Amino acid sequence: MNTVSPSAAQYVGGVMQEELVENRRQQPLERQGSFGLRSPQTPDPSREATGEPDEMDKLKAKLMSAWNNVKYGWTVKSKTSFNKISPVTVLGHSYLLNSEDEVERFRLAFVSRIWLTYRREFPQLEGSTWTTDCGWGCMLRSGQMLLAQGLLVHLMPRDWAWPDVQQLTDVDFEVFRPRSPARAGGVPIPSFATPRGTNTPEKSLPSDQVPKCSQKKRPESVRDSQVEPVHHRLVTWFGDQPPAPFGIHQLVEISKSSGKKAGDWYGPSIVAHILRKAVAKTSVVHNLVVYVAQDCTVYKEDVVRLCDLSLSQTPPDPSNQAWKSVIILVPVRLGGEALNPSYIECVKNILKLDCCIGIIGGKPKHSLYFIGFQDEQLLYLDPHYCQPVVDVSQVNFSLESFHCSSPKKMPFSRMDPSCTIGFYAKNKKDFESLCSAVSEALSSSKEKYPIFTFVEGQSQDYGLEGHSSNNSGPAAHILPPGKLGRSNNRRNSDEFVFL
């Protein structure tokens, strides 16, 4: 991709503005499938060896950080419109927004997702001058959100909702009755919101003027008192301090083995492998592994060998049914320069599955975390908002900045074809159900070849000994089912091959 797509958009002064293609036409862009803004400096091999930036690099990083902190540090609030006759799907659950109760259920489901965004003024990233990830870390943040959702379903009850949602803020969206003569979008149903925006101080209102929804505060149950400490602890794992196992410092450090550094672009495939290594490296999460698919193929026996604890015993003990939960990440490409429309129905069916934990991808050069859809538009969480760092080591730190109150949508047609799809299976039975349900969803594609496949056996059976998801960097090639190459001579990159 040598130019920026006319449909690509980015935040300018906090408002989504169409990119000026002509002004960007002469700027070289890194290969397709990476997201974010790239620092313009050219690496000096002598400095690369020491890993230390020179004074010019430091000055450039400071100027870029200052600009990005301003650029992404504020936003103009705008409400997203939803219609009340089509269901909204959020990670396997559907909501028909035709009543207060259904709107409230959707509100709870959306706001309870963990939202991870750009941060500023965190401890300096090792080997760099960066104290913010503004402008370059959006795909890492999207990956964090995907992993956070996997950890939520791993550690929390399936019907968990954040009990403090009511105290947060209004959910900034409107629900319309379509085809109304009053306006093209329809007429909104009564608002269920307070007047506060994301970064606008809350105003106190007389009790008779406060909307009914904001007066309701769910009494803390016994389960809440048991689960909320887990919620807090989970968020600390994504804190912007070097010790946090899934924080920006750890992810950037892990990425060095893939030739990446702070300030670089990250693609969805590389981020999948970074997340796998981060989970394998830490001891804070028990009984969980991450498997990254190779060649758009999930090798079932490879997953079994990761999860089945009895196979790690010598000799194997068939009576031991212990099984690790697994997050399965599948890097795929859904077209060439743009999304192939034939895959849209398939993506919808995947997002309808209870085992799906979302998709990291975005628009061209603008990473997003997709969690659902309504009609022909995707629902997403956007990391492109710069917030001050939160000291998660403090007792009872505020969770408000880790939960988003503004659902946003975009047309499927603007989706970048490069993405990574996530799934979660708690046990062996769930994994078997996952394979069956996902395979059925994949069969809905109108294309000759599915987005990816499940096959029996191990990757080494197909000549992929050197490309196990436990050992390698990202390699992603689209091959027809049943015609997997048996050669070991495969590329190890973030590129995709189309047949």
Residues linked to residue 378 through DSSP beta bridges, in sequence order: 373, 410
The Cα 351–Cα 92 span in angstroms is 6
**Burial grade of 292 (CB within 10 A; 0-12, 13-18, 19 or more):** buried
The Cα 232–Cα 156 span in angstroms is 12
**Torsions phi, psi of 82, nearest 5?**
-120, 145
Is residue 154 flagged as an active site residue? no
The Cα 284–Cα 295 span in angstroms is 30
Please identify which of the residues 240, 264, 308, 382 carries the catalytic annotation: 382
**Torsions phi, psi of 397, nearest 5?**
-60, 155
- Cα distances from 421 to residues 117, 142, 360, 361, 408, in angstroms, run 20, 12, 7, 9, 19
Tell which phi-psi region holds residue 451, choosing left (phi > 0), alpha (psi between -120 and 50) or beta.
alpha
Residues linked to residue 35 through DSSP beta bridges, in sequence order: 266
The Cα 165–Cα 105 span in angstroms is 11
**Burial grade of 369 (CB within 10 A; 0-12, 13-18, 19 or more):** buried
Pick the closest to residue 190 from 204, 211, 169, 167 (CA basis).
Answer: 211
First to last CA, the chain: 19
Q: Locate 212 and state its tokens.
A: 């009914």
**Torsions phi, psi of 405, nearest 5?**
-110, 5
The Cα 208–Cα 212 span in angstroms is 9
Neighbours of 335 (CB within 10 A): 16
The Cα 402–Cα 144 span in angstroms is 12
DSSP result, 179-193: T-TT-TT-EEPPP--
DSSP result, 423-479: EEESSHHHHHHHHHHHHHHHTT-SSSS-S-EEESS-GGGGT-GGG-TTT--------
Pick the closest to residue 348 from 375, 327, 381 (CA basis).
Answer: 375
Is residue 295 flagged as an active site residue? no
Is residue 93 flagged as an active site residue? no
CB 176 within 8 A of CB 83: yes
Please identify which of the residues 57, 133, 138, 404 carries the catalytic annotation: 138
Please identify which of the residues 231, 249, 366, 384 carries the catalytic annotation: 384
Q: Which residues contact 49 (CB under 8 A, 6 or more apart)?
A: none
Q: Could you list the active site residues?
A: 138, 382, 384
